[in-house]
Amino acid sequence: MEKRLIFAIALSFLFLWGYNRIVQRFVPPAQLSAISSNATTSQKEISFSGSEKNEVVAAEPIIPETSLGVAEFENHFVTYSRQGGYIVKMSIKPYGDELTFQNIGLIPSQADVEYTSQVIGNRLIFTSPSNNIKEFLFNKYVITIKPEAEKAETVLFCNRLSRIGLDKQYQEFFFRPKNEYLKRMPLEKAAPRMYSAQEVIGARDRYFTAVLLKGDYTIITQKNLPDGIRLLMAAPSSEINLYVGPQRTEDLKVVGLQEVMNYGFFHWLGAILVNLLFFFHKITQSWGIAIILLAGTTYLAFYKLTAQSTLAMKKVQAVQPLVEELKKKYKDDMQKLNKEIMLLYREQKINPMGGCLPMLVQFPVFIALYQVLLRTCEIKGAQFLWIKDLSLPDRLITFSTSLPLIGQHINILPLVITVFALLQQKLSIPATASSEQKMMAWFFGLMMGVIFYNFPACLVLYWFVQNALSLAYQIRVSQKPAEKLV
């Protein structure tokens, strides 16, 4: 029994550790094929010969405050610079947060030129002292850049690494050569190099993406200050069409870039779940209620497995007195003891792994749901009950100073989940369990609270509903004989 207990505990912790690690970056970085980097570009901007030692970090332009201006378009708020004639930063309506995609359309050789600017309808127009025109045309989420000089190297955009850990882990650089599949890598691992004959190239973070519409591009990536990468387009055509907007399938499909949206290894399952989530939102007009309904639906879908798992655990508990007798009888012969325990299980038709296997079957759903809930940009800023933003921890109480262990906020949902987990452990641990077994069960319950404490409220709300339903079922069957559970 001790071996099975140790195995079950190890499996549980392996699941929790794996869940927390794998969902952070479920798809491993793509193994990139060797791409020719024999590019001749301005030595002022990049020096690259395949070695990290030779890379030159691209400097940030220094912009005087008087050169900055702001403009509002259909889907974008823009801060631009008349010095250099480019977009310094922007945000997407209605989300408001500043994007990590910056310095869009900068021509390095023209960085010190002072332009005049005009905003006419959906156009941002820069005019140089020599009357050359540089234009940004905004059409929904597509920005068409008409550079001043066709053969100038143009900064497509700079991509900053997010300072928030959860957002940082979702930042990717991706590209697709013609007739190949889309390749992805963590943004922080994108090394300086040239990418020739690319049909699709861009970057994305947790909610948004900046990506070139399908074409034939040559892009050079550079390290960028203070931290991030800069995408430099060599000899652009007369127009550059760049999608800068949310990662929503319906928006990306319009421009033929739906492949950018990805929910990881179980993408197909994530696509089903996100459609179900949107269906519930359409009915209720509340993302919080939609998440609750999604949690209830998945619980019902796996109800039979949950019942079978509970039945297996109840049967194991029922034979504990017999197992204890065997331990006393064969305390000096562990090999014989294990053999007799397995014979006992066989006679009682007990599968000792029956309580764990249903959980493993549900594992792909948990992974897909994690990706869906954390990447659905519509959830960003959504309120529910006391939760001001479902994409952040629920933050019921906020302190002016940071407190030890809990930080500056008290998140109530993770604390309730901890209580539920402790109650479930209390119901599942037999009275004959040793003090060590009981202590491990309590430790397991507390770990649930630690893991979920700083998770976004959307994911914690889903888990809260799942735990509440599981606890209600466990209480209902706790006094029933094992044979009447299913």
Q: What is the pLDDT of residues 34-83, one digit of tens each?
A: 223 333 333 333 333 333 444 556 667 777 788 899 999 999 999 999 99
Task: Return the SS3 of 211.
Answer: strand
Residue 263, pLDDT > 70, answer yes
Of 118-132, 373-387, 468-482, where does mean pLDDT reach its minimum?
468-482
Q: What is the pLDDT of residue 479?
A: 63
- Name the nearest CA neighbour of 85 among 4, 155, 7: 155
For each of the domains in the chain, give its residue range(s) and CATH number, in order of start: 2-23+268-484 (no CATH), 52-248 (2.70.98.10)
Instruction: Say how far apart CA 442 and CA 411 lie, in whole Å.
Output: 21
Render pLDDT for 244-254 as a digit per residue (tens, 0 to 9): 999 888 888 88
pLDDT score, position 151: 60
Cα-based angle 281, 283, 284 (whole degrees, multiple of 5)? 65
Confidence of residue 210 (pLDDT cuts 50, 70, 90): very high
- Determine how β-strand 240-246 pairs with β-strand 208-212: antiparallel
Distances (CA, A) of 300 to 103, 121, 279, 470, 484: 49, 52, 17, 10, 19
When pLDDT is cut at 50, 70 and 90, the band that residue 319 belongs to is: confident
